[in-house]
Structure 1
Amino acid sequence: MSNSLQVGKLAPNFLSIGVYKNKLGKIRLSDYRGKKYIILVFYPANFTNISITELIRLNDYVLEFKKFSTQILAVSIDSPFSHLQFLLTKRYKNSLDELNLDFPLISDVTKKITEEYQLLTDDGLACPALFIIDKEGIIQYYTVNNLLCDRSIDEIIRVLNSIQYLKENPRQIYPRV
């Protein structure tokens, strides 16, 4: 386990299989470097209530994140096939809607990514966490929660906005509204 995971340091790169628009494909974190900010979300597992609610809420704000030139990537220790099944499952009981996410779900079935980001519990689960990584691949912010706690999308957007503002205006104070 690396001790260098911290704000201001390069985010650990990874290459894994992800599911996006019901298709499997390779996803490498470094492919976004120089192009987009990344919201890297770790969630414990598919088919848990908090995970479904949080992923739907993130998806509801995808257009807002795109305004900030930001890509959401969601990681769990599930297999790519579990992700695919998760996406094809009906959102709510008696609903015809599949879970149509506008961002990829990344498989970390080997738990290598989760371990590299220091989020693996003693029981082999992934702690919920969120990282904001800038276009240079540097971690600008992160939070780690307990397994039952979700995150505030409004707070994520506020922090992302302040990080981008301060990077563009390094000698100014962020005008909090």
Structure 2
Amino acid sequence: MRAFVTQPAPVFTATAVVGHEFQTINLHDYLGKYVVLFFYPLDFTFVCPTEIIAFDQKLGEFQKRNTEVLGVSVDSQFSHLAWNQTPRTQGGLGGVRYPLIADLTKRIAKDYGVLLPDESVALRGLFLIDKAGVLRHMLVNDLPLGRSVDEALRLIDALHQFETHGEVCPANWKQGDPTMKADPKGSREYFEKANS
């Protein structure tokens, strides 16, 4: 199964490092919550720890939004554990609090369409999965381009706004900004206010 927005997210079971322990993770275990699933190329690299730590620093914001964060790379759980135990001052993760999933077989990366064949590493993919397990957003960056954690939070807010109120969120929408009804009358009302 290949990841496609509006379709069920590819389900997987894999070993992950959670804190300082190994646990089996199954995507189905997260039904009823939003999931931010992100892929990164390799442990002990350069841009990767900046992203992983940035997600960890905002973990409370994700939890307030009923959202779980899951990181994935093609490294082993042993590599994840060693990196998570390495201090941040030395390029390590210093105790990230969300699961880091080991994808040694590269099956998860293939299913989500982020495996870079020539290098056998995952591109920087970010996937937003809704409470029913449906893929609602995907973004894939090239290896040198880090992601915005704040944008991931904004997208969760937009999805929640739509699910709760049935109104769509225009460009650059942030929580508290006006939304619009997705019909001719509702959109006209929005455009009249936004462009006056």
Instruction: Quote how far apart the aligned CAs of 1:5 are.
Output: 2.2
Deviation at 1:174, TM superposition (A): 3.1
Deviation of the 1:131 alpha carbon: 0.3
The structure showing larger relative contact order (alpha-carbon pairs under 8 Å, at least 6 residues apart) is 1
Inter-partner Cα distance in structure 1 for 2:93 and 2:112:
30
Aligned twin of 1:46: 43
Distance 2:115 2:77 in 1: 19
How far did 1:98 drift? 6.0
Which residue of the other structure, out of 145, 158, 161, is the alignment partner of 1:162? Answer: 158
CA distance in 2, matches of 1:73, 1:122: 23
The residue aligned with 1:82 is 79
Output the CA distance in 1 between the equivalents of 2:3 and 2:12: 14
Task: State the partner residue of 1:149.
Answer: 145
- Secondary structure at 1:16's aligned position in 2? strand
Which has the larger helix fraction? 2
1:63 paired with 2:57, answer no
- Alignment partner, residue 139 of structure 1: 135
Cα distance between partner residues in 2 of 1:10 and 1:109: 23
What does residue 108 of structure 2 align with? 113
Deviations for 1:123-144, whole angstroms, at most 9, x for unmatched residues?
A: 2111111000001000010100
Aligned to 2:16: 18
Residue identity over aligned pairs, in percent, reads: 36
5+ long unaligned stretches in structure 2: 178-196
Q: Provide the rounded CA distance (Å) in 2 between the counterparts of 1:53 and 1:19.
A: 18
Structure 1 distance, partners of 2:117, 2:5, is 24
The TM-score, its normalising length taken from structure 1, stands at 0.92
- SS of 1:164's partner is helix
Shift of 1:121: 1.0
Given that residues 70 and 99 in structure 2 are in contact (C-alpha distance below 8 angstroms), is that contact kept between their aligned partners in structure 1?
yes
Match of 2:52, SS state, is helix
2:144 and 2:169 mapped to 1: Cα distance?
A: 32
In the TM superposition, residue 107 of structure 1 has moved relative to its aligned partner by: 0.2
1:5 aligns with 2:9: no
Instruction: Give the letter aligned to residue 99 of structure 2.
Output: P
Q: 1:46-68 CA deviation, whole Å, 9 max, x = no partner?
A: 01111101011000100000110
Post-superposition offset of 1:122: 1.9
Structure 1 gap segments, 5+ residues each: none
Runs (4+) of structure 1 exceeding 6 A deviation are none
The size of the alignment, in residue pairs, is 171
Q: How far does the alpha carbon of each residue in 1:67-115 deviate from its partner, in whole angstroms, 9 at most, with x for none? A: 100000000000000000111112114x9x9611110100001101111
Residue 156 of structure 1: CA displacement?
1.0
Distance 1:144 1:18 in 2: 22
